[in-house]
Amino acid sequence: MKKWSKLTAFGLCAVLGASAAFAGCGSEAETDESGSGEVIRVAWWGGESTHSAMQSALDAYMEANPGVVIEGEGANYDGYKEKLLTELASGTAPELFKVEPQWIAELGESGYLEDLSQHYDILDLSEIDTTLMEYGEYNGEQIGIPTGYNGMVWIGNEKLMDEYGIDAGTQYTFDEILELGKEIHAQDPETYLCSVGQANCNYILREMLKQKSGNQLVSEDASLGFTQEELQECFEWFEEAFGSGVFEPMGDAELYANNFGENPLWISNNIVAEYTWLPAIVAFRSTLDKDTTTVPLYSFTIGEDAKNGATNLRPDGLFAVPKGLDESRLEETLKLAKYLFTDAEAGALLGDAFSIPNNEPQLEAAREAGKIDDQIARGAEMASETAGMVENVQSSNDEISSITSDWLAQVCYGEADASDAAAGCYQEMQNKAESLFG
C-alpha cells in the first residue's frame, strides 16, 4: 500500500518558518456577447474568500490573454453535485469544474470526463505530487487535476485547552479522549470536549477502522477489509462518547454541521475542539472573541496497535474537463487549467483558497505573498505526519460511505445499540460492495 511522503519535501517547514457516460456530453458552446471569443466557464464551491481568490486568478489570466473570456461560477456546496450531474447529462456543463475525490469513480464510470493524460503536451502536471494525482485516476485515465493538500484535523479552542491541560503537540488515543472528555463534562456539564456532526463522525469511524485492520474498507475484489467485531468496537466507542457527554449531542451538533463556527457553544467557549477539514480553520477562528485563539491538534489514534495512519490526507478537490469539447475550446481550457494549478502567479493569488498548494512553484509563491495561513500550514504538516493509505475508489464510493454514516448515526442518536448496528451495517456493506464491485 502506498504511503504519503512528508509534505516537508515541498518546503512546508519553510512555509511555517516564514509565516511562524457519454462522449459528446461536453459543454454547449457559449459565445461572448462582445464578439471577442467563446466563453470558458469555471465552476467550484467554497466560501467568499475562496470565490474572491479564484476570481482574482481568473481576472489575471484574462488580462494576460485578452482573447479569452472566462465566467467564474463560485457556488455553495449544497446542491452543487446534483446541478453538475444535470449539466453533464444535458451537455451544458462548465468547461472546467471542481469535483470531490469520492465522485471520481461515479463520473469515470459514466464516461463524462476527458482523459487529461492525452493532453500533457499542453497540460503539464509533472510538478504535482504523484500521490495526489492518484485520486484523479480511474481505469488508467487521469480525469481529475488535484488541488491543494487537504486533511482532517482537530481544531481546538486554545483557552479551553490550557484550562483543561490539553497539549496540542500530543497525539491522543481514542481511550484517552474518552477520559479527558468525561472529566471536562463532569467539571462543567455545559462544556463538551468535542462537537462533531454526522458526516465528520463517519470520517472518524472510517479512519478508526483502517487503523484497526490495516486494510482498505472495501477491497478491489469487493470483500470488506475489516471484521464485524472491529466495526462493533468502533460503534461502542461512539456510543460511549455521546452517552457520557464527551461529544455534544448529535442532534445539536447537526444544526451547525455545515457552519460549525456559528455553534453558540463554540462561540461561548463551551466546546474544546471540532474535527474538520483544513480550510475551515479560518472560519472557526473568526467567530471566537479576539482574546481567544485556535490551534490544530493531531487526529486521534487507537494506539501502538494501529496498523494505519490516523489521518485521511487527500486533495482538497479535483478539477475536471467534460468530454466533447471542440479542439480549440479544449485547448484553451487546458491552458487555463495549467495556469490555475501549476503557475506561480496563480499560486500567489490563490494562496490557500484550495488548501496548501500541492506543487513547489505555487507553494513558494503563496508563501512569499503571505497567502498561507499559519494554522492551516501547521495542520497540513500534522496531517502529513499521521497520514494513512490512499483510499481506493471502492472504499470512497458515496453509496458505501452512506451506509456507515446512516448506521453510525443510529448509534450516536441512541436509536440502535452498537452490536445490532454493527451486524446490520456489516451485512448491508457486504451486499452493496458485491452489487457494485463484485
Along the chain (438 residues), what's the average pLDDT of each consecutive run of 10 residues? 43 46 45 61 94 98 95 96 97 97 90 97 93 91 94 93 95 97 98 95 96 97 98 98 97 88 94 90 88 92 94 92 96 97 97 92 94 89 90 89 97 97 98 94
Alpha carbon 28 to chain centroid distance? 30
Name which of 405, 320, 373 is nearest 25 in CA terms: 320
Return the ∠ at Cα 412 (arms to 406 and 413), rounded to 5°: 90
Question: Cβ distance 108 to 138 under 8 Å?
Answer: yes
pLDDT number for residue 268: 95
User: What is the C-alpha to C-alpha distance for residues 238 and 372, in angstroms, rounded to an integer?
Assistant: 35
pLDDT number for residue 28: 52
pLDDT number for residue 37: 63
Q: What is the DSSP string of 175-206?
A: HHHHHHHHHHHHH-TT-EEE---HHHHHHHHH
pLDDT number for residue 4: 46
pLDDT number for residue 105: 86
pLDDT number for residue 312: 84
Could you tell me whether strands 313-315 and 149-157 are parallel, antiparallel, or unpaired per DSSP bridges?
A: antiparallel
pLDDT number for residue 22: 34
User: What is the C-alpha to C-alpha distance for residues 26 and 269, in angstroms, rounded to an integer?
Assistant: 49
Give the E-state strand segments of 158-299 in sequence order.
192-194, 271-277, 294-297
The domains located in the chain, with CATH, are: 20-148+316-372 (3.40.190.10), 150-313+389-437 (3.40.190.10)
Three cell numbers, residue 39 = 466563453
At 342, the amino acid letter reads: T
How many CB atoms neighbour CB 69 within 10 A? 19
